[in-house]
């Protein structure tokens, strides 16, 4: 009973600010509603049927998968940087802080900064591209349907790596030094100690970062919306931006609710798979 009482406030907050909106969104997804009319026409799962038949939806899913893959790269880079900082080289505290700055700024500010850098006329990268004769930089790739999503993913990797550096450093502080000393005495190289001693003890943290990266990739919105708003055309349209466009540009709140519920379901499935694999490894 004591444990339940301590958990009750957090449970109430989750119920009010998470569960209730999710249930409300699901109810909206079963209707034909423009967001303004007091009447909502119940149409069952028709929104889901039309969503699954829409090629734009499946293209958005593919881009979200690419986004998640990019965040997995950020997890890997963050972990490797943390391993280097773990040895506490000179100035390691400064580096740790610098890597975290993009995450502290927030996706909106990061998006504005990189959008200005990629401007084809006044952007700093465009000037560098013209000076060095690099066409890719000289003409903003954000206007290129083939390169825009790649630029967004790379920007997200740059912005997110520091977050995973900090989590990895927290996990590395709990590594048993006796195991490292024993492996060193047995003649294990640094790479062998990393692979056979450090990584096995870091699996819970790696699983946590993988789960967070997957959810962040599914929920991606603000950085993409600020830099491209899903364009050019639909070249950078993700599930989040598609739901926003459906709701506030086309006034199709039922269709937007169906997309939002798809994001919720995919996030839950990914979390369950990640948690189950981590439990098996443990």
The tens-digit pLDDT sequence of the chain (282 residues) is 899 999 999 999 999 999 999 999 999 999 999 988 888 999 999 999 999 999 999 999 999 999 999 999 999 999 999 998 888 777 777 887 888 888 888 888 999 999 888 887 777 787 888 888 877 777 778 888 888 999 999 999 999 999 999 999 989 988 888 888 888 888 888 888 889 889 999 999 999 999 999 999 999 999 999 999 998 889 999 999 999 999 999 999 999 999 999 999 999 999 888 877 666 655
Average pLDDT over the chain, rounded to an integer = 89
CATH number at residue 204: 1.10.3720.10
- Domain total of the chain: 1
In a domain, 137, yes or no: yes
In a domain, 140, yes or no: yes
In a domain, 234, yes or no: yes
Rg (CA), the chain: 23
Please tell me the distance from the alpha carbon of residue 244 to that of residue 267, in angstroms, as a whole number.
18
In a domain, 209, yes or no: yes
In a domain, 108, yes or no: yes
Domain that holds residue 259: 43-281
- Token readout for 49 is 């049927």
In a domain, 4, yes or no: no
Please tell me the distance from the alpha carbon of residue 8 to that of residue 240, in angstroms, as a whole number.
31
In a domain, 57, yes or no: yes
For tokens 């195991």, what's the residue?
179
Please tell me the distance from the alpha carbon of residue 67 to that of residue 160, in angstroms, as a whole number.
12
Q: pLDDT, tens digit, for every residue of 238-267?
A: 999 999 999 999 999 999 999 999 999 999
What is the reported pLDDT for 87? Answer: 80
CA atoms within 13 A on the CB side of 164: 30
User: Where is 137: in which H helix or E strand?
Assistant: helix 135-138
- Token readout for 152 is 């967004």
In a domain, 204, yes or no: yes
């Amino acid at each position: 009973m004591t444990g339940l009482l301590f958990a009750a406030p957090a449970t109430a907050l989750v119920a009010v600010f998470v569960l209730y909106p999710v249930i409300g969104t699901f109810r909206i997804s079963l209707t034909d509603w423009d967001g303004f009319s007091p009447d909502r026409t119940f149409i069952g799962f028709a929104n889901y049927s039309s969503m699954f038949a829409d090629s734009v939806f499946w293209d958005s899913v593919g881009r979200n998968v690419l986004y998640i893959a990019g965040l997995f790269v950020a997890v890997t880079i963050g972990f490797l940087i943390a391993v280097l900082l773990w040895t506490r080289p000179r100035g390691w505290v400064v580096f740790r802080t610098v890597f975290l700055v993009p995450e502290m700024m927030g996706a909106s500010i990061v998006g504005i900064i990189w959008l200005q850098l990629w401007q084809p006329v006044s952007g700093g990268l465009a000037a560098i591209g013209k000076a060095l004769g690099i066409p890719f930089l000289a003409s903003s790739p954000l206007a290129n349907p083939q390169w825009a999503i790649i630029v967004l993913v790379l920007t997200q990797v740059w912005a997110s790596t520091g977050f995973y550096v900090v989590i990895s450093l927290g996990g590395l502080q709990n590594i048993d030094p006796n195991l490292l000393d024993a492996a060193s005495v047995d003649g294990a190289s640094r790479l062998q100690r990393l692979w056979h001693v450090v990584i096995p003890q870091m699996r819970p943290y790696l699983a946590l970062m993988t789960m967070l990266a997957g959810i962040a990739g599914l929920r991606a919105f603000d950085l993409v919306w600020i830099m491209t708003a899903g364009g050019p055309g639909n070249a950078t349209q993700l599930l989040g931006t598609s739901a926003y466009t459906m709701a506030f540009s086309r006034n199709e709140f039922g269709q937007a609710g169906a997309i939002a519920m798809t994001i919720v379901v995919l996030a839950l499935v990914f979390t369950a798979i990640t948690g189950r694999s981590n439990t098996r490894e443990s």
